């Protein structure tokens, strides 16, 4: 009798476990992916806090600011961000588990002709000679390859101040205001 109760208890536990994880399966997110994206989002939040602290110390621009004042503001913003992250390196935010999750998401999302079209769009962009360096500005003269909206919905969400971008088959995180390359991952495209 005791064995039968144990088996029933074990079966009930397994059913509850399956039910509790079915929400992840329906959303296409595994518990491990949820932890991975949370770690990524935390790293992005840390960057945003630093960025916010630096921006709060900068002199405010008025709506009547001259081009010289705007240039001076942007230069100061870039320099202070660079100084605040002197040891920033590739992989600080795109950690290995995040990079693998994003690669898998892109592989899953883009198959067959869609994958070929995405690769063609990305590889035809006029940014092939951009040097990838964390904590350095993305060249203003180079084209940004826009991310497909359907892919953006599947990737970890970013604050409006940061954007995903492709350069060759690599994915970048770029600050919208100062064009600083925050981090990048290699071979994001399958």
CA-CA distance, 21 to 17, in Å (whole number)?
A: 6
As for how many domains the chain has, the answer is 1
End-to-end CA distance of the chain: 56
Residue 53 lies in a domain: yes
For residue 24, being part of any structural domain is answered with no
CA distance 177 to 144: 14
For 44, the domain range is 31-185
- Is 15 contained in some domain? no
Which residues are registered as beta bridge partners of 166? 145, 171
- Residue 6 is assigned to a structural domain of this protein: no
The pLDDT tens digits of the residues spanning 49-97 come to 999 999 999 998 999 999 999 999 999 999 999 999 999 999 999 999 9
Half-sphere exposure of 152 (CA within 13 A, CB side): 13
Q: What is residue 112's predicted lDDT score, i.e. its pLDDT?
A: 73
Query: Is residue 20 situated within a structural domain?
Result: no
Q: Six-digit token pair at 118?
A: 């995405």
Asked, for residue 17, whether it belongs to a domain, the answer is: no
Whether 5 is in a domain gets the answer: no
Residue 112 lies in a domain: yes
């Amino acid at each position: 009798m005791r064995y039968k109760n144990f088996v029933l208890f074990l079966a009930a536990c397994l059913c509850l476990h399956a039910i509790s994880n079915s929400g992840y399966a329906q959303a296409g997110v595994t518990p491990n992916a949820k932890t991975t994206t949370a770690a990524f989002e935390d790293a992005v939040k840390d960057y945003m806090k630093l960025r916010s602290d630096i921006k709060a110390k900068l002199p405010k621009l008025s709506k009547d600011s001259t081009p010289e004042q705007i240039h001076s503001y942007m230069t100061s913003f870039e320099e202070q961000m660079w100084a605040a992250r002197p040891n920033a390196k590739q992989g600080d935010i795109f950690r290995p588990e995040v990079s693998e999750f994003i690669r898998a998401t892109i592989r899953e999302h883009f198959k067959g002709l869609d994958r070929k079209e995405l690769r063609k769009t990305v590889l035809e962009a006029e940014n092939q000679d951009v040097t990838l360096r964390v904590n350095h500005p993305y060249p203003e003269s180079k084209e940004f390859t826009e991310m497909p909206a359907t892919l953006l919905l599947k990737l970890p969400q970013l604050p409006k101040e940061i954007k995903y971008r492709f350069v060759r088959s690599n994915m970048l995180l770029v600050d919208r205001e100062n064009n600083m390359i925050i981090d990048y991952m290699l071979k994001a495209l399958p």
